[in-house]
Amino acid sequence: PRMSVNEERTVTVQDILEDEELQEAYAVLAGSDPDNCSYPQGYVKRQAVFACNTCTPRGVEPAGLCLACTNHCHDGHDIFELYTKRNFRCDCGNSKFGVLRCQLSPGKDRQNDKNHYNHNFHGCYCTCDRPYPDTEDQVNEDMIQCIICEDWYHPRHLGCTVEDSEELQEMVCETCMNKAPFLWTYATHIAEPPMVKVSPCKGEVEINVEEDKEPEDKRRDEPCMNGGEGSSTSPSWLRELKTQGLERVREGAVFWPYHWRAKLCTCVSCKRAYVDAGVQFLLDESDTVLAYENRGTIEQGTASLDSLLMSSLSTLDRVQQLEIVYQFNEMQTELMAFLRQIADEGKVVTAEAIHQFFGELMSRKRRQMNS
């Protein structure tokens, strides 16, 4: 995800339809409830999070707010928009806010001990610890979020060439790569840029990193990259990288393509390594910001479909209304199941996928009518 500067102005539906940045902002907010505090849900898997510079300025303990509390309890305050955070519980009105009490969910614990905070909650970002937007910064560039520490970075401070590609959806900063060093091995194969370096005592080796062609039963007893036995998920290219001593230069941030998480080994040994490094969420493809945004877009799309249906029914008689409602609900149920499956897998909802869905739906309807 990237953070962009936008001037404050009135936003219309047409603006959202025509402006890609507004669409992204809309998707982030659409995934969170604007009216009900998220605190009763516990530590929410992913939600839009804000910080109040009026109530918790720099120098005091950091605290985070859900979208609803930002709108209702902190209206008119100086707010920092933090995009989304994982496994976060709303702090509004707890002990960090002194006499202020949450108007939406007042019965909260004094603190949320499992929340994770960084300098973003005081309006600072990147290794340069500067605000965003920064009036003193002469370089106007978008910031990019690390998917592990969830801090935001200026591209010029990432220590690598930043590729402008729609296929590269997630970034891990150098600090987080070193906290989970096994990721460097994966980066040799699937990250960008695909740099491969051999140690001086090794010769150049051509590695076929396309789809693993080995049969499942042949792979079953092979050791994975972390030395665990019994892995059926460690592909041949990964074992060959380890055997041949191939590695990537361990410098700078790393950019990852769609579905790279699906390539992570899931043997017991590797799962322990993910837990030890605090990155076990990487195995959950629904953890991605893309999956969160897709879910929000789907929910808002459902509301739009309902509104369209109600306006159309007013022109029909009662029998026609019942028939249309029945068919619409059946179609909507199937469509929502289809879209949620795509969202949970962290995939993008493409025009081709939608056309395929409706094509198959129409084929089923025709078969039913002809039977």
Neighbours of 234 (CB within 10 A): 23
Q: Specify the pLDDT at position 250.
A: 86
Following DSSP, what letter does each residue of 308-371 receive, concatenated? HHHHHHTTS-HHHHHHHHHHHHHHHHHHHHHHHHHHHTT----HHHHHHHHHHHHHHHHHHHH-
Mean pLDDT (whole number) for 122-147: 92
125 belongs to a structural domain:
yes
165, 192 contact by CB (below 8 A): yes
Q: Which residues contact 244 (CB under 8 A, 6 or more apart)?
A: 198, 202, 205, 207
Query: The tokens of 273 are what?
Result: 């390594």
Say yes or no to pLDDT of 214 above 50.
no
Residue 283 and residue 271: Cα distance in Å, rounded?
A: 9
Helix (H), strand (E) at residue 220: none
Mean pLDDT of the chain, nearest integer: 75
Q: Considering only CA atoms, give the Rg of the chain.
A: 24
Rounded distance between C-alpha atoms, residue 200 and residue 187, angstroms: 20
- Report pLDDT for 119: 97
Q: Is the per-residue pLDDT at 319 higher than 90?
A: no
pLDDT category of residue 368 using cuts at 50, 70 and 90 = low
Residue 322 domain-assigned?
A: yes
pLDDT at residue number 332 = 64
The burial class, CB within 10 Å (0-12 / 13-18 / 19+), for 28 is buried
Residue percentage of the chain with pLDDT more than 90: 38
Question: What letter represents residue 181's amino acid?
Answer: P
| Listed residues 97, 113, 131: the one ending a domain | 131
Task: Say which amino acid occupies 365.
Answer: K
Which parts of 232-281 are beta strand (E)?
246-247, 254-257
Residue 180: inside a domain, yes or no? no
- Flag the least confident range among 66-70, 147-151, 209-213, 307-311: 209-213
Q: Between the CA of residue 293 and those of 26, 65, 87, 290, what are the distances in Å? A: 9, 19, 16, 5
In this structure, which amino acid lies at residue 346?
Answer: G
Q: 368: Cβ–Cβ under 8 A, 6 or more apart, which residues? A: none
Task: Using DSSP, state whether 145 is helix, strand or coil.
Answer: strand
Alpha carbon separation from 163 to 23, 322, 367 (Å, rounded): 22, 53, 48
Considering the domain boundaries, does residue 206 fall inside one?
Answer: no
Range of the domain at 324: 316-369
% of the chain at pLDDT higher than 70: 58
- Does residue 323 form part of some domain? yes
Residue 236 lies in a domain: no
Range with the lowest mean pLDDT among 96-100, 148-152, 195-199? Answer: 195-199
Please give the model's pTM, rounded to 2 decimal places: 0.67
Query: 176: which residues sit within 8 A by CB, 6+ positions away?
Result: 146, 148, 149, 279
Q: What's the pLDDT score for residue 154?
A: 94
pLDDT tens readout for residues 180-209: 999 998 888 787 655 443 333 333 333 344
Q: Give 287's pLDDT tier (boundaries 50, 70, 90).
A: confident
Would 293 be classed as within a structural domain? Answer: no
Residue 32: pLDDT band (50, 70, 90) is confident
Domain stop point among 69, 103, 131 = 131
Last residue of a domain, one of 109, 131, 153: 131
Q: In whole angstroms, what is the distance from residue 33 CA to residue 67 CA? A: 7
pLDDT at 259: 81
User: Is 91 inside a domain boundary?
Assistant: yes
Q: Of 43-52, 222-231, 332-341, which gets the smallest average pLDDT?
A: 222-231
Whether 69 and 104 have beta carbons less than 8 Å apart is answered as: yes
Read off the pLDDT of each residue in 30-48 and give the average, rounded to a whole number. Answer: 90
Bond before 223 cis per omega within 30 degrees: no
> What is the domain count for the chain?
2
